[in-house]
Amino acid sequence: MHLVRSFSFHLYSITLLLWCTSSQGESIHIAVASNFTHTMKALISEFEQNSPHKIKASYGSSGKIYAQIKHGAPFKLFFSADQSKPLALYNEGLTHSKPFTYALGGLALWSNNKHFNGENLESVLLSGEFNKLAIANPKLAPYGIAAIEVLKNMNLVEATRKKWVRGENIAQTYQFVRTENADIGFVAFSQIVRQPFYWKVPSNLYQPIRQDAVLLKHKSEKNGINNKAALDFIQFLNSLKSQAIIQSYGYRTENNAYIELEMSNKNT
Amino acid sequence: MMLSDADIGALWLTLRLATTVTILLLIIGTPIAWWLSKTSSPFKGPVAAIVALPLVLPPTVLGFYLLIAMGPNGFIGELTQSLGLGTLPFTFWGLVFASVIYSMPFVVQPLHNAMEAIGERPLEVAATLRATPFDRFFTIVLPLAKPGFITASILGFAHTVGEFGVILMIGGNIPDETRVVSVQVYDHVESLEYAQAHSLSALLVIFSFVVLLALYATQRKTSNVGMMK
Amino acid sequence: MPHSISTNNTLEVRFKLSTQDRENKKASRTYLDINTKIPASGVTAIFGHSGSGKTSLLRCIAGLEKAEQGKVSIHKNSWQETWQDTGYFLPVHKRSIGYVFQEASLFPHLTAQKNLTYAIKRSDKAVSAEFYQRVIGVMGIESILTHYPNQLSGGERQRIAIARALLIQPRLLLMDEPLAALDHQRKQEIIPYLERLHQSFDIPIIYVSHSMDEVARLADHILVLDQGKVIAEGGLTEVFSRINLPQRLEDESGVILNGHIVEQDNEWQLIKIAFANSHIWIPDSADILSEALGKSVRIRILARDVSLSLSNHDDTSIVNRILVTVMDIKSDEDSPMSLVRLKMGKEFLVAKMTKKSVHHLELTVGIQVWAQVKSVALVR
């Protein structure tokens, strides 16, 4: 909290310096990983009630957004579904900040098949009595990596490998289970938080699934950060209210999120 | 070129899928196209529209409906299960089924056009030469519609190779079973393996170019051969 | 000349075809109302202007078009078959017909030879080598058999098409204006083949045409259609000697006479053609005729080429001056012209003149006058 405050203060002084004439609300574009869609909508709606700024969000796969940003997409903020893409952008010098974690995802084993109603899905997984096991593609999705980790820790990789079907993202993995084409599947807890039957995978079985965001730098911004709306929104995300919203959608949050701005381009 | 084993596996699978789908489409599409070109039934419009529907539907929409329909509670799924075939998603034959539907207009429409272009006259002539309807179809319609069959085969094949959205929805990314080239390229792109993505994409681009070149070459050749003289 | 139709050799044809029967409702105003018997021997021309329904009639006979009400049955010697009757319709491919279309519809993907083979393979009875050679010979197509249709001229294609129709060995050959798509030169090139066809094969032919020339040359019998109805039918010479045909046909009115070459005048290069009880001189322009004494020929004399005078004038350039009897005079109220039917021996002539001339000569039925024939066309 302390760090956030000090950062905010610092930030405000910069923006005030550059935008002292501007008291109007701004409209900015941000890019958000699909799995955070509902949460982000709720957050934006809450934010806009108490702010003159408008947030226009585009939702898509993190990989696509990454490619678009690299080719000049006009997003001010990027909320990825993983850590690697914001980190890559940071390493390429395309950001104002180091990546920061805005949410932590949880993994759940879920079934939509009535046949498994009320059963302990963990024992179903152990028994091997299911047709398919849906997981997110570990190559593409952190939830997939986590799912593989869980299977490794349970010593089930070889036993289940033949039954894996991979969704390209966690949403598709959810679809496979939802349409009962796969009896069970590792999905994001946030997706099934309101479902009756699931097994919430103990967090000691996998590394935390961190979803990171970055503040993006644009060629037009030679003079440093000049976006009050983006900074306001980041500050809002650190509020208790928005953290409660994020948690209500099945994510965990860390109270120590902060942004370290890169000031290398700053020109006074 | 840097192609991994997984890339090569995906290429082979794609060729196998496209070949199977093209053959099936020619078998299924020919009678449909023939019926469309001959009938004056009130169902002609609706049938033509249904066949053409995949042209308009976003592939992911089609894929999503197929995933539901082919699932254990979908009507196709219930049918395949009652036949003892299990369910189709995540299997090679599931992809074949979906691709047949998805690529249908690309086969039926050139066939339909070619058959309509033949007109009534050659068939009337053949009838006055004692050819039965069946005989006429095989000895007159099929040979005269040959350019249409070439176009249909090439388009059907190429379109299946390029198919992505539908397969993404129902494939499950299983190596050598449902992980085709387009999905493999997508995986490379999504996991930021741009070099591999480039290699595979370049292959696809070259392939598509060659296919289209072949298509235009055959069309030029066949357009020189007149119809009924 | 009365034309008798043997009940043994007839094609009975009865059709009612209204526009509603057609698939494409707005395509045609033509409708058919036909009830007749066509001789199943020789060449019968179905003659009429375009839109008179002649092609529809032919298509109905072939079964290419289905008249809701209709009957077609053919008697030929002891053989008899019904192709259509109430509640019965024999499909085209089961009818023993050969059909020659207006444009020579050869299959473009087959060579001329393969086009013929297509028919040979499907003929009801095996095609003998002798018959095959005869067809090839009569049509003169030996040298072009290896060609594809698009390598052939229009006339060559049509000859292949006719040969193909013959090789199916039909009981009845139907020809739908087979020369209409050809230019004049090609027509002249192909007509001799059609005449030979007529002479070489004992097969009844129904020949649709709107060309008086073709009909005069080829037909023995004629069915004249107008607006879907039969307005005249009978032997060719008999029908053309009538003067009560509708106005539309009168422009081309004229008689057709069958006779024999009986004399040659080498000094003046003239040929004498004799009929039952009369004769006519024509110029011996065609060398082929010079050694054809006794040969039967057909000539056509147009009504506008016949003039009348009350006495035999020597001081005229007209060679053929014949004493004839006026049989009938037809004058329409809305036309300044009259047609006069004349008897020349046992034959008839028709003369066309103004009403004023009829009045001036005081022509009445039964009087004898001199016909001056200005021009005669040797049609075959």
Question: Is A214 found in the same domain as A91?
Answer: yes
Residue whose C-alpha is closest to residue C260's, from C300, C299, C234:
C299
Among B127, B131, B144, the residue with its CB nearest the CB of C109 is B144
Question: Is A133 found in the same domain as A61?
Answer: no
Outline where B39-145 has alpha helix (H): 44-56, 59-70, 75-82, 92-118, 121-128, 133-136, 142-144
| Counted domains in chain B | 1
Check if B55 contacts C (Cβ < 8 Å): no
User: Is residue C57 pLDDT above 60, yes or no?
Assistant: yes
Task: Provide DSSP, C36-82.
Answer: EEEESSSEEEEE--TTSSHHHHHHHHHTSS--SEEEEEEEETTEEEE
Q: How many CB atoms lie within 10 A of CB B7?
A: 21
Whether residue A10 is contained in a domain is answered as no
Residue A176: per-residue pLDDT: 92
Q: Are B195 and A67 in contact, with CB atoms under 8 Å apart?
A: no
CA dihedral sign, ordered B26, B29, B31, B36: negative
d(CA B42, CA A92): 62
Q: With contacts defined as CB-CB under 8 Å, which chain B residues touch A84? A: 192
Q: With contacts defined as CB-CB under 8 Å, which chain B residues touch A89? A: none
Whether residue B39 is contained in a domain is answered as no
Q: Which residue has the higher pLDDT, C146 or C186?
A: C146
Q: Are A32 and A39 in contact, with CB atoms under 8 Å apart?
A: no
Q: Residue C287 — very low, low, confident or very high, per pLDDT cuts 50/70/90?
A: low
ipTM associated with this complex: 0.83
Q: Residue C20 — very low, low, confident or very high, per pLDDT cuts 50/70/90?
A: low
Residue A68's domain is classified under what CATH number?
A: 3.40.190.10
With touching defined as 3+ CB pairs under 8 A, do chains A and C touch?
no
Interface touch B190/A88, C-beta < 8 Å? no
Interface of C with B in 124-153 (CB under 8 A): 124, 149-150, 152
Interface touch C107/B227, C-beta < 8 Å? no
Q: What angle do CA A25, A75, A229 make, to 5 degrees?
A: 25
Q: With contacts defined as CB-CB under 8 Å, which chain B residues touch A61? A: 190
Q: Residue B142 — very low, low, confident or very high, per pLDDT cuts 50/70/90?
A: very high
At C99-116, the pLDDT tens digits run 999 887 899 999 999 999
Q: How many CB atoms lie within 10 A of CB C1?
A: 14
Residue A259: per-residue pLDDT: 56
The DSSP code for A19 is -
Residue B168's domain is classified under what CATH number?
A: 1.10.3720.10
- Give the gap in angstroms from C-alpha A180 to the nearest C-alpha of chain B: 6
Check if A139 contacts B (Cβ < 8 Å): yes
Residue A13: per-residue pLDDT: 43
Q: Which residues of C112-145 are buried (b: 16+ CB within 10 A; e: fewer)?
A: beebbebbbebbeeebeeebeeebbebbbbeebe
Token pair in block for residue C306 = 């016949």
- Who's near C317: CB < 8 A, 6+ residues apart? none
Q: Are A31 and A184 in contact, with CB atoms under 8 Å apart?
A: no
- As its CATH architecture, domain C10-245 has 3-Layer(aba) Sandwich (3.40)
Q: Are A28 and A55 in contact, with CB atoms under 8 Å apart?
A: yes
Mean per-residue pLDDT, B179-188: 88
Question: Is A114 found in the same domain as A163?
Answer: yes
User: Is residue C22 pLDDT above 60, yes or no?
Assistant: no
Residue whose C-alpha is closest to residue C329's, from C337, C339, C320:
C339
- Give the gap in angstroms from C-alpha C110 to the nearest C-alpha of chain B: 10
CA-nearest residue of chain B to C181? B229
Whether residue A13 is contained in a domain is answered as no
Check if A66 contacts B (Cβ < 8 Å): yes
- Give the gap in angstroms from C-alpha A166 to the nearest C-alpha of chain B: 5
* Cβ pairs B/C, distance under 8 A: 77
Interface touch A181/B70, C-beta < 8 Å? yes
Check if B223 contacts C (Cβ < 8 Å): no
User: Is residue B226 pLDDT above 70, yes or no?
Assistant: no
- Give the gap in angstroms from C-alpha B226 to the nearest C-alpha of chain C: 7
User: Is residue B207 pLDDT above 90, yes or no?
Assistant: no
Check if B146 contacts C (Cβ < 8 Å): yes
Identify the chains in contact with C, defined as 3+ C-beta pairs within 8 A: B
Report the relative pairing of strands A100-105 and A209-215 from DSSP bridges.
antiparallel
Q: Residue C7 — very low, low, confident or very high, per pLDDT cuts 50/70/90?
A: low
User: Is residue C30 pLDDT above 70, yes or no?
Assistant: no
Mean per-residue pLDDT, B94-106: 94
Outline where chain C has alpha helix (H): 54-62, 112-122, 129-139, 154-167, 184-200, 212-218, 236-240, 247-250, 355-361
Whether residue B228 is contained in a domain is answered as no
Q: Residue B114 — very low, low, confident or very high, per pLDDT cuts 50/70/90?
A: very high
Interface touch A139/B187, C-beta < 8 Å? yes
Domain boundary among A171, A200, A229: A200
Residue B107: per-residue pLDDT: 96
d(CA C133, CA C115): 16
Interface of B with C in 74-113 (CB under 8 A): none
Domain boundary among A143, A165, A200: A200
Mutate to test the interface with A, among B66, B75, B90 (most CBs of A within 10 A): B90
Interface of B with C in 183-222 (CB under 8 A): none
- Give the gap in angstroms from C-alpha C220 to the nearest C-alpha of chain B: 25
Interface touch C91/B127, C-beta < 8 Å? yes
Question: Measured over all CA atoms, what is the biggest interatomic distance in chain B, rounded to whole angstroms?
Answer: 66
Q: Which domain holds residue A140?
A: 107-200
Q: With contacts defined as CB-CB under 8 Å, which chain B residues touch A175? A: 64, 67, 169
Whether residue B205 is contained in a domain is answered as yes
Check if A91 contacts B (Cβ < 8 Å): no
- Give the gap in angstroms from C-alpha A116 to the nearest C-alpha of chain B: 14
CA-nearest residue of chain A to B164? A168
Residue B123: per-residue pLDDT: 94
Residue C24: per-residue pLDDT: 54
Token pair in block for residue A179 = 């349409």
d(CA B104, CA B52): 8
Identify the chains in contact with A, defined as 3+ C-beta pairs within 8 A: B
Which residues pair with residue A29 across a beta bridge?
A56
Considering only CB atoms, which residues of chain B are within 8 Å of chain A? 64, 67-68, 70-74, 87, 89-90, 168-170, 172-174, 183, 186-187, 189-192
Helix (H) or strand (E) holding B7: helix B5-38
Mutate to test the interface with A, among B62, B81, B191, B193 (most CBs of A within 10 A): B191
| Counted domains in chain A | 2
d(CA C38, CA C222): 9
Question: Measured over all CA atoms, what is the biggest interatomic distance in chain A, rounded to whole angstroms?
Answer: 67
Residue C187: per-residue pLDDT: 83
Q: Are B130 and C168 in contact, with CB atoms under 8 Å apart?
A: yes
Whether residue A63 is contained in a domain is answered as yes
The low-confidence residues of chain A, meaning pLDDT below 50, are 1-22, 262-268
Interface of C with B in 12-71 (CB under 8 A): 23, 62, 64
Mean per-residue pLDDT, B72-93: 89
Q: Are C176 and C161 in contact, with CB atoms under 8 Å apart?
A: no
Token pair in block for residue B9 = 């596996």
Q: Which CATH number fits domain C254-378: 2.60.120.10, 2.40.50.100, 1.10.10.10, 3.40.50.170?
A: 2.40.50.100
Interface of C with B in 193-232 (CB under 8 A): none
User: Is residue C243 pLDDT above 70, yes or no?
Assistant: yes
Interface touch B140/C107, C-beta < 8 Å? yes
Among A62, A131, A168, the residue with its CB nearest the CB of B186 is A168
Residues carrying CATH 3.40.50.300, chain C: 10-245
CA-nearest residue of chain B to A168? B168
Mean per-residue pLDDT, C345-370: 91
d(CA A173, CA C77): 82
Question: Is A216 found in the same domain as A99?
Answer: yes
Q: How many CB atoms lie within 10 A of CB C29?
A: 9
Interface touch B191/A164, C-beta < 8 Å? no
Interface touch A67/B70, C-beta < 8 Å? no
Whether residue A226 is contained in a domain is answered as yes
Check if A140 contacts B (Cβ < 8 Å): yes
CA-nearest residue of chain A to B88? A181
Residue B228: per-residue pLDDT: 41
Whether residue A15 is contained in a domain is answered as no
C319 burial (CB, 10 Å; 0-12 / 13-18 / 19+) is middle
Percent of chain C with pLDDT over 70: 92
On average, the pLDDT of chain C sits at: 86
Among B130, B225, B227, the residue with its CB nearest the CB of C122 is B130
Residue whose C-alpha is closest to residue A146's, from A104, A198, A89, A193:
A104
- Give the gap in angstroms from C-alpha C151 to the nearest C-alpha of chain B: 10
Mutate to test the interface with A, among B167, B173, B174 (most CBs of A within 10 A): B173
Interface touch C103/B227, C-beta < 8 Å? no
d(CA C369, CA C255): 18
How far lies C260's CA from each of C213, C254, C264, C278, in Å? 20, 19, 12, 11
Interface touch A64/B183, C-beta < 8 Å? no
CA-nearest residue of chain B to A134? B172
Check if C91 contacts B (Cβ < 8 Å): yes
A83 SS3 class = coil
Residue A187: per-residue pLDDT: 94
Question: Is A183 found in the same domain as A132?
Answer: yes
A128 SS3 class = coil
Residue whose C-alpha is closest to residue C38's, from C199, C213, C178, C204:
C204
* Least confident span in A145-154, A224-233, B1-10, C214-223: A224-233
Whether residue B229 is contained in a domain is answered as no
Angle of helix B92-118 relative to helix B5-38, nearest 10 degrees, comes to 40
Q: With contacts defined as CB-CB under 8 Å, which chain B residues touch A130? A: none
